[in-house]
Amino acid sequence: MKKTIYYMFMMLVCTQIQAQKDFQGMAVYESKTQAPKFEGMRGNRDITPEMKKNMEEGMKKILEKTFILNFDKSASIYKEEEKLEAPGQQNGFRIMVGSMMGGGGTFYKDVKTKSYTVDKEFMGKEFLVIDSLPKLNWKLEQETKQIGGYTCYKATVVKEPSKTDFRNFRPKKTDDKKEEAKKTSGETKTNFADNFEMPKEILVTAWYTPEIPVNQGPENYWGLPGLILEINDGTTTILCSKIVLNAKDKAEIKPSKKGKVISQKDYDETVIKKMEEFREMNRGRSSGPAQTIGR
C-alpha cells in the first residue's frame, strides 16, 4: 500500500514538472506612440502646411504597431506582426524613421540568465545585440484594474531612456520670442533634429497579472510577479489585446543568430554617431526643391 501511494505521488510530481516544462503562452500587444507635432518647424519655409500634415499622419502610422509575445516559464520572443503593405507605402520618410527606430527585429529574453538578444537593422546594416537585461527597480502598488478579464496590479519604475529609441524624443517647447527674432533676422532654416530633445529620465507605469505567473512582458520589460499586460511611459502605450495559453501548436522560442554581434553600448554609440552625422549633414543645408512626403 505504501509503495502504491509512493508511486502515485511520484507520478503526480512528474506530471506537474512536465506541465510546467510544456507551459507556453501567446500575447498580442498593440503599441501606440503619440506622433510628434511639427509646430517648432513653422519657421522653415521648406515645410509647407500640406507636408507638415503628411509628415504627422505618416509618423502616426509608423508609430502604431502590433506585436506578438510568445513565452514560457523562462524565455520569450517579442516580434512585430508581419503585415503586407500596398505598393508605394514604403516611401523614403517611413524607411528613414523606421531605421531610426531600430528597424524592428526579434527580441529574445531569457529571465533565467537575465540576458537578451535582439537583431536590429540600421541604415542597411544588420546587428545582433546581445547583453544583460536592464535592472528595473519596480515599485509595487496596491491599485488594480481589469484588462481582458485579468486582475492587474500597478507597478512603476523611473529609468534612463534609450538614446537610440526615436520614441523617447520629446518636442522642445517653442520660444515665440526667439522664433520671431529668427524671422526678423532672416534665419528661417530649421533642422528637424533641433526640434526634439531626450529627457534625462522617464516614469514607466506597468500593469501585471499574477494570474499568469511569468515575469515576462513586452520589449525589454520584465521582473514582475506576473505577465505585464500594459506599459505606459507618457508617450508610448503598449496594451495587451489577446492572450492564448497552452495552445496546441507551440512556437519556437529561440534567439536570432543573424547580424554582427555587438553589445548594447557599442550599438548605441554606432547609431548616435550616424545620427549626429546625418544631423550635421542636414544642418544649414540650402533650400532645394520641396519633396512631398507620401502617407
Q: State pLDDT tens for residues 209-266.
A: 999 999 999 999 999 999 999 999 988 999 999 999 998 888 999 999 999 999 999 9
Assess if residue 267 is contained within a domain: yes
Q: Looking at residues 118-137, what average pLDDT do you find?
A: 92
Q: How confident is the model at residue 27 (pLDDT cuts 50, 70, 90)?
A: very high
- Rounded CA separation 217/207 (Å): 10
Assess if residue 73 is contained within a domain: yes
Q: Return the pLDDT at 286.
A: 44
Q: Please report how the helices 49-62 and 92-100 are oriented relative to each other, as an axis angle in degrees rounded to 10.
A: 50
Give the chain's end-to-end CA distance (angstroms, integer): 75
Q: State pLDDT tens for residues 227-239.
A: 999 999 988 999 9
Assess if residue 4 is contained within a domain: no
Q: State pLDDT tens for residues 60-88.
A: 777 788 999 999 999 999 999 876 655 55
More confident residue, 15 or 102: 102
- Closest residue by Cα to residue 27 from 150, 154, 205: 150
Res 51 pLDDT > 80 = no
- Rounded CA separation 183/178 (Å): 9
Q: Looking at residues 24-33, what average pLDDT do you find?
A: 95
Q: State pLDDT tens for residues 160-217.
A: 888 777 777 666 665 555 555 555 555 544 555 566 677 788 999 999 999 999 999 9
Q: Return the pLDDT at 137.
A: 96
Res 102 pLDDT > 50 = no
- Rounded CA separation 123/100 (Å): 8
Assess if residue 8 is contained within a domain: no
Task: Tell me the three cell numbers of residue 177.
Answer: 520670442
Q: Which domain holds residue 81?
A: 23-282
pTM: 0.76
More confident residue, 53 or 145: 145
- Backbone dihedral region for residue 190 (phi beyond 0: left; psi -120 to 50: alpha; all else: beta): beta
β pairing state of 227-232 and 236-245: antiparallel
Assess if residue 7 is contained within a domain: no
Assess if residue 101 is contained within a domain: yes
Q: Return the pLDDT at 42.
A: 47
Assess if residue 287 is contained within a domain: no
More confident residue, 288 or 251: 251
Q: Could you list the beta-strand ranges (E) of the chain.
A: 25-33, 64-71, 75-80, 106-110, 115-122, 125-132, 139-147, 150-159, 170-171, 196-197, 202-209, 227-232, 236-245, 260-262
Q: Who's near 195: CB < 8 A, 6+ residues apart?
A: 36, 38, 40, 41, 171, 172
Assess if residue 18 is contained within a domain: no
Number of domains into which the chain is organized: 1
Res 36 pLDDT > 80 = no
